Structure 1
Amino acid sequence: MLIFSQSLFSQDFWVKTNFPTDNSSLFSIYSIIENNTNEILVGTFAKGIFKTTDNGVAWSESGLNNMWITSLAKDNSGNIYAGAIGSQFGSGIFKSIDDGTTWTKIFEIETGINKVYVSSENEIYIGLNYTSEQSGIYYSSDGGNNWQKIFNESENVYTIIKLNTGRVLAASYGKIYYSDNNGINWQITSSGLTSSTPSSFAINSENKIYLATLGYGIYESNDSGVNWTNKTGAGWEYSDLEIDNNEIMYASTRGNWVYKSDDNWNSSVLINSGMGQDKYVLDLYIDKKGYLFAGMDYYGFYRSNTPVVVSLENDNLLPSFYLSQNYPNPFNPSTSIDYSLPSNDYVNLKVYDVLGNEVAILVNEQKQAGNYRVSFDGSKLPSGIYFYSIQTGRFYQVRKMLLIK
């Protein structure tokens, strides 16, 4: 897999926030969510929930103090659900109807809570560790008022996703269970998978499903989760996956920062500048303003210096910022790149080789709102893979192109 280091760009990608960590595991961040008032909430290992209203400059406690918050999720009405473990309030699922200010326990659970997942239909799925007392998947269709067990296998359920076809996928060690009737019947597959611990599902607009694992890479399925192909090879412990509205995917790792890919993990970019060395990233989140957040094990909370996508708060802006795939691609010796700006902005459009060396500056000036096309001449360059990036005050994106002579 090709790795292209983001640290070679001039501006650090990451900035560390003022999250009140003491560099101990007590403040490790396991889950991140944004409430309806644009506050960012983070769930910690043993200090409950904290929130910030200003992208991490100031923080305050937001309930469930001294609890281990393993997972956070939000429904379409803005209700927030937390999987919490601890003696202070008793382990279970907690619900907040006021953006995380107060919490009410809606389900008592004594075993480990791996995942709280809310579907687009506001259905709640809880994935548990296996114990003799309580295990499997519990399900609620009414906001947590009533629960039923829909998965009875003696398995740890690490993560869950529901497809737009109605199929539910539940990932266990080295295998995937799937149900097309919401848990009445389950089928099992391990086709293409190795014996590894899964950590996170993600799905793109083409309905390709991605599964991150601890130690055996990222897998892709093109058939609703039945068969899987490893995209990255074994090695890194991938802890979380996020996909932005430009179809760029981000993967966090335990020990080697964050990677991103715009070609379904055929290649990836290491984005580590500003984060330091050997950081254990446990969770990723993209907020409505387009910022990427990273919750760490021991070492606090990081935010991207600039939004990775156009603000999600104003949908009519989404088509306006745009960086096209170059055409033709592959090319020899020249190719065209289109980009669009919704407002006046300073634009940097550059080309890099696979080692991160800058080979061309295509645009470096103030531009008016509008659509633009630039040409890139690779006649003096050797054949190979190149990357081009655009950066403005509110937008950043990298794409890959191939020069074949």
Structure 2
Amino acid sequence: MKKFYFIYLALFLLTITLYPQQQNDTTGNTHRNYRRTSDSQPPTSYYQQPKEQVFPLGYGTNHLGKVTTGTGVWTELNPKVPRVDYLGIGFANKDTGWAVGANGALIKTTDGGESWQRVFTPGYTSDYWWIDFLNENYGFIAANGKVLRTTDGGNNWEIIQAGDGYPLFSIDVIDSLHIAAGGYGGTGYPAKNIYSSDGGYSWVINGGSLPMSEINCIKYINIDTGYVVMTYFGLYKTTDRGESWTHLSGIGDYELEIFPEENTGYNAGAGLKIYKAEGNLDVWSKLIINTDFADVYFTTEQKGFAISSGVNGILFKTENGGTDWQVVSGAPGGGDILFLDSLTGFIAGSDSKIYKTTDGGESWYATNGVPNIIAKIDFINSSVGWAAGGFVIIKTTDGGENWETQITLPADHFTSIFMIDSLNGWATSRYVWQTTDGGENWIQILDITSEPYNDVYFTDIDTGFVIESPYLYKTTDSGNTWTTQLNSDYIIRTFGWLSKSHGFIIGDGMYETTDTGSTWNEILELRNVGLRKFQSPTEFLGYSVGNTGLIYKYLDTSYVPVELTSFKGYLKENKIVLEWQTASELNNEGFIIEKSKDKIEWKPIGFAKGYGTTTGKNKYQFYDYNLDNVRNYYRLKQIDYDGTYKFSNIVEISYSITSFNLSQNYPNPFNPSTIIKYSIVKKGEVKLMIYDILGREVSVLVNEVKDPGYYEVNFNASNLASGVYFYRLVAGSFVSTHKMLLLK
């Protein structure tokens, strides 16, 4: 039992520094970037062991090596390298590389990372932030106020003071003489930015034109021109070795990788930032959407919009159900978006305007009479609508072209509005408001507490809900009394409804009702995901958005995706007719019609577009004119918009042919192509030939064994002159000839 407790204690001590806590700088000289590591001080005592200290490689490494106890020796077998936060890595080639980290940790590999050996640097025990090698022998490490230089592949390191004692977070070896480094410049000072022109022995301290932040990465494309990325500020450029800098853009703030020969660069940073420059290193574009979305609206199952607010708000559009998104050029940002139909929509802009589109979101223009920023827009038909936000509620009666103020608050601000019909509606601010005359008068409800309310929704004239996070209140008597229905442990923000009975509460706590709000059940899997708004184009499908590019799709699986009620086929006038019917469809892109002779090998012969999502009955029909076998099999491959599919049952269609036949070509006269149809009674050699007026054979269209069936062949006479031609069918003892006319 004593051994067990000793092992437990040792394991606890081995892991205790894997999660360093943020600590205040008490030295007055050293800045700590807390996203990297901690400033813990070494212990003042050791285990009372007779031969060896617990930390033979220095405090903070968590590397025990060998420990002698009173009864034996403990030897660490793996990983044999300091167990610290590794902050930088650099490879001279695919096999030889180094990694650096906290507390002077430096390790090297010569076999592509399969094994690592520790490299000691006597005279320095603080943090290493970055390492960069020009070749296998020549490299530098960025450290706290120092750089370390090697010319023999890391066997020996020279410690060089580099300006003041503040940390250098990045270093770039431009060539054997020119090296640039950057980091933190101290409280109230610009970022640290230094440059050496003599192989790192002396350094020029620059940085006067950089902001008071820190350089996280520095890269030069030649000895004069370089780039840095900084916390909070993004990308800066210099063309004079760091003496002056120009701000380019607010891209990611951590990592920068540049390929000067290709004029291409990549960048990464906090908040899902990944950027690329191509052809021009001064211009960068996002590779991943990381926008903080404020609202979403889909006009159909496939076409929708997601919008962000603020000065740099952006409107995105998708036309394939959210798989791909494009920025709508020239469109405003905003906090709320609403469409009345596929063409007419509104945006509550971030600049105290309501914008309108009449072309499906392609272009937008400002409407009239909006006094301040609007939080929510609501219409009851194509002409009459309301909007609430700031100190006002406003109304339009001409389709949103002009707005008139109905109420102005001396303080407070409106957050949401919901109109049940042309007379009755509700709004929220720090209070709950009701109108029964179309907004001519708004009455403050006194039977509910005065708190900042987020959203309001009514299922009918009597039953409604308001959110005042973390509370949900409900009324069943048109707002005369309110009861607390929910007290969430998490932030709840807005409502999202698919129908009057099926809805969601959106927020860090997510709740669902399927009984018109009588009960609400938490969706545990979506807790703290960060969704903010929800909208549904149908009763089966919805979309929700949140911060950092978050977009979720909801599909109600209680509905049968596509309910196929019948599928049949029959022969009619030398063609096969296929007919099928659906009772309901969900997310249905369409049907691929497949055909087979043996139910083993299938080939597609056509496509029928689906109706998307519908609860109504839909009928489909397809014609197969290629009767190349007396027994054929057909099936339907039903495909959803997301690419998933399933097959129908198989339909067998057989028919008999009682006589050989060669039909008149169609069209006739023709130019330059025509169709020739024929039928074969029994299997055998079949030959179909074309002759000119002199009886010379000019083309052989068919010369092979054919099974019984109906056939057609296309004859293209592009290389023939105008005139009369004959086509002849020979099938066993059956011979038939017809005349046709080519007119060019």
Q: TM-score, normalised by structure 1?
A: 0.50
The secondary structure found in structure 2 opposite 1:272 is strand
Question: For residue 242 of structure 1, what is the aligned residue in structure 2?
Answer: 457
Deviation at 1:152, TM superposition (A): 5.8
Deviation at 1:81, TM superposition (A): 1.8
Q: Is it true that 1:201 corresponds to 2:417 in the alignment? A: yes
Counterpart Cα distance in 2 of 1:206 and 1:154 = 23
Q: Is it true that 1:280 corresponds to 2:491 in the alignment? A: yes
Q: Which one-letter code corresponds to 2:465 in the other structure? A: Y
Pairs within 5 Å for 1:350-361: none
Question: For residue 302 of structure 1, what is the aligned residue in structure 2?
Answer: 511
Q: Which one-letter code corresponds to 2:335 in the other structure? A: N
* Greater relative contact order (CA < 8 Å, ≥ 6 in sequence): 1
Counterpart Cα distance in 1 of 2:500 and 2:272 = 27
The secondary structure found in structure 1 opposite 2:450 is coil
Q: Is it true that 1:117 corresponds to 2:117 in the alignment? A: no
Deviation at 1:206, TM superposition (A): 7.0
Structure 1 residues 175 and 306, CA, compared in 2 at 3 Å: closer, same or farther?
A: closer
Counterpart Cα distance in 1 of 2:493 and 2:323 = 24
Counterpart Cα distance in 2 of 1:244 and 1:149 = 32
Pairs within 5 Å for 1:120-269: 123-130=344-351, 135-151=352-368, 153-164=370-381, 166-190=383-407, 195-205=411-421, 207-213=423-429, 215=430, 217-232=431-446, 235-244=450-459, 248-254=463-469, 256-269=470-483
Question: For residue 349 of structure 1, what is the aligned residue in structure 2?
Answer: none
1:172-204 superposed Cα distances (whole Å, 9 cap, x missing partner): 32222222223444322227x563221111122
Q: Which one-letter code corresponds to 1:141 in the other structure? A: T
The secondary structure found in structure 2 opposite 1:142 is coil
Deviation at 1:100, TM superposition (A): 1.9
Counterpart Cα distance in 2 of 1:64 and 1:307 = 38
Q: Which one-letter code corresponds to 2:383 in the other structure? A: G
Counterpart Cα distance in 2 of 1:205 and 1:120 = 18
Structure 1 residues 146 and 91, CA, compared in 2 at 3 Å: closer, same or farther?
A: same
- 2:379–2:419 Cα contact (<8 Å) kept: no
Structure 1 residues 309 and 73, CA, compared in 2 at 3 Å: closer, same or farther?
A: farther
Q: Which one-letter code corresponds to 2:433 in the other structure? A: Y
1:353-384 superposed Cα distances (whole Å, 9 cap, x missing partner): xxxxxxxxxxxxxxxxxxxxxxxxxxxxxxxx
Q: TM-score, normalised by structure 2?
A: 0.29
Pairs within 5 Å for 1:371-382: none
Structure 1 residues 107 and 301, CA, compared in 2 at 3 Å: closer, same or farther?
A: farther
Identity of aligned residues (%): 17
Deviation at 1:304, TM superposition (A): 4.0
Counterpart Cα distance in 2 of 1:312 and 1:247 = 23
What RMSD, in angstroms, separates the aligned Cα atoms of the two structures?
3.6
Deviation at 1:301, TM superposition (A): 2.5
Counterpart Cα distance in 2 of 1:246 and 1:208 = 8
Q: Which one-letter code corresponds to 1:74 in the other structure? A: F
Counterpart Cα distance in 2 of 1:288 and 1:110 = 30
Gaps of at least 5 residues in structure 1 are 1-45, 49-62, 314-405
Q: Which one-letter code corresponds to 1:71 in the other structure? A: D
1:317-339 superposed Cα distances (whole Å, 9 cap, x missing partner): xxxxxxxxxxxxxxxxxxxxxxx
Deviation at 1:128, TM superposition (A): 1.7
Counterpart Cα distance in 2 of 1:64 and 1:119 = 30
- 2:331–2:364 Cα contact (<8 Å) kept: no
Counterpart Cα distance in 1 of 2:427 and 2:413 = 10
1:201-233 superposed Cα distances (whole Å, 9 cap, x missing partner): 1122574111111x2x21111222221011245
Counterpart Cα distance in 2 of 1:182 and 1:243 = 23
Counterpart Cα distance in 1 of 2:288 and 2:476 = 38
Q: Which one-letter code corresponds to 1:139 in the other structure? A: K
Structure 1 residues 121 and 197, CA, compared in 2 at 3 Å: closer, same or farther?
A: farther
Deviation at 1:285, TM superposition (A): 1.6
Question: For residue 38 of structure 2, what is the aligned residue in structure 1?
Answer: none
Q: Is it true that 1:93 corresponds to 2:308 in the alignment? A: no
Structure 1 residues 231 and 304, CA, compared in 2 at 3 Å: closer, same or farther?
A: same
Structure 1 residues 122 and 234, CA, compared in 2 at 3 Å: closer, same or farther?
A: farther
- 2:369–2:402 Cα contact (<8 Å) kept: no
Counterpart Cα distance in 1 of 2:349 and 2:301 = 25
Counterpart Cα distance in 2 of 1:246 and 1:172 = 23
Counterpart Cα distance in 1 of 2:329 and 2:480 = 42
Number of matched residues? Answer: 238
Deviation at 1:77, TM superposition (A): 6.0
Q: Which one-letter code corresponds to 2:467 in the other structure? A: S
Counterpart Cα distance in 2 of 1:86 and 1:136 = 13
Deviation at 1:280, TM superposition (A): 2.6
Gaps of at least 5 residues in structure 2 are 1-270, 274-286, 520-537, 541-744
Give every structure 1 segment of 4 or more consecutive aligned residues whose post-TM-superposition deviation is greater than 6 Å.
none
Counterpart Cα distance in 2 of 1:303 and 1:266 = 25
Pairs within 5 Å for 1:379-398: none
- 1:205–1:247 Cα contact (<8 Å) kept: no
Counterpart Cα distance in 2 of 1:301 and 1:236 = 21
